[in-house]
Structure formats: structure tokens, C-alpha cells
């Protein structure tokens, strides 16, 4: 059976993000896409607009020196423009001598074949905030 188009879109996004291909990630989003990231860290908040979301992703790679990866566990869809991607995130910060390994999920809203909204859920907000550091 063929993969649902929304699941295929999310999978392409994960593959591009993991390889640092922000150009491709950007093509998968609407111009007004918003990423909602939990917590109080420097990557937290409601990041509005594709360019700002991509800047936040680039900042994550910068903070970790590119030492990040995501293992995609599953993608579930509802056939009405929503997809949930369960994953495990791994990253290190040499500057702080920290590493993180955490389960999470991304809830996507998809309109017209593009990602318009991403709600991020994570296993432990306090651990994440400590890893990423305070908002600047």
C-alpha cells in the first residue's frame, strides 16, 4: 500500500532536516508556517514565518555544532490534514559538555500539500531548557 501523501511529506521533511538541507525543508512549508516549541529556552516560543522557522533550525545546528540527529519512529495521519511524527532526538553541546536524548512528537497541520503549523511536544521540558540554554 502506498504511503499517505501527508506522511510522505513529513518523512521528506525529516530526511531533509536531518541532513541539514534547510532549502528543501523550506519548500515543504507555507510562507506563514509557525513552529511552536515548548519551554523557556533560546529555541522556545511561537516562531512565525517560514524564514524565521528555518533560522531557528539553523540556530539549533549552530548551537550543537551540527551534532544533532532525529530517529523517526512513526508517522500517523488522520486524512484531514494532520500528521503526528513520534521521534527520538539526540544532540550534544561541546561548549557546555552536555548531551540530550529525548522522546518527542511533532504535530503537523498540512494545507494544500504544505506544512502550515508544527506543534512540538517533548518528554522533559526542564531538561530541554537546560540543554538549549536560556532565551537571549
CATH code of 68's domain: 3.10.450.50
Residue that is written with C-alpha cell 514565518 in the block: 49
Alpha-carbon distances of 83 from 43, 75, 94, 112, 123, rounded to whole Å: 22, 7, 34, 14, 19
Q: Structural domain of residue 123, as residue ranges?
A: 5-132
Helix, coil or strand: residue 11: helix
Q: Which residues contact 131 (CB under 8 A, 6 or more apart)?
A: 41, 91, 93, 96, 98, 100
* pLDDT the model gives residue 97: 86
Asked whether 17 and 1 are in contact (CB, 8 A), the reply is no
pLDDT surpasses 90 at 136: no
Averaged pLDDT, 117-123: 98
Averaged pLDDT, 31-48: 97
Averaged pLDDT, 21-30: 97
Tally of structural domains, the chain: 1
pLDDT, one tens digit per residue, over 61-119 is 999 998 899 999 999 999 999 999 999 999 999 888 889 999 999 999 999 999 999 99
* pLDDT the model gives residue 66: 87
pLDDT, one tens digit per residue, over 7-22 is 999 999 999 999 989 9
* pLDDT the model gives residue 17: 94
Helix, coil or strand: residue 48: strand
Amino acid at each position: 500500500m502506498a504511503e499517505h501523501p501527508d506522511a510522505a511529506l513529513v518523512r521528506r521533511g525529516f530526511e531533509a532536516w536531518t541532513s541539514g538541507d534547510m532549502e528543501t525543508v523550506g519548500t515543504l512549508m507555507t510562507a506563514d508556517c509557525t513552529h511552536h516549541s515548548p519551554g523557556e529556552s533560546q529555541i522556545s516560543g511561537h516562531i512565525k514565518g517560514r524564514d524565521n522557522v528555518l533560522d531557528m533550525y539553523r540556530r539549533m545546528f549552530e548551537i550543537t555544532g551540527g551534532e544533532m540527529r532525529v530517529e523517526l519512529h512513526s508517522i500517523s495521519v488522520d486524512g484531514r490534514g494532520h500528521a503526528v511524527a513520534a521521534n527520538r532526538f539526540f544532540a550534544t553541546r561541546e561548549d557546555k559538555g552536555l548531551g540530550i536524548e529525548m522522546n518527542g512528537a511533532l504535530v503537523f497541520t498540512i494545507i494544500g500539500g504544505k506544512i502550515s503549523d508544527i506543534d512540538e511536544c517533548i518528554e522533559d521540558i526542564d531538561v530541554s531548557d537546560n540543554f538549549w540554554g536560556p532565551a537571549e
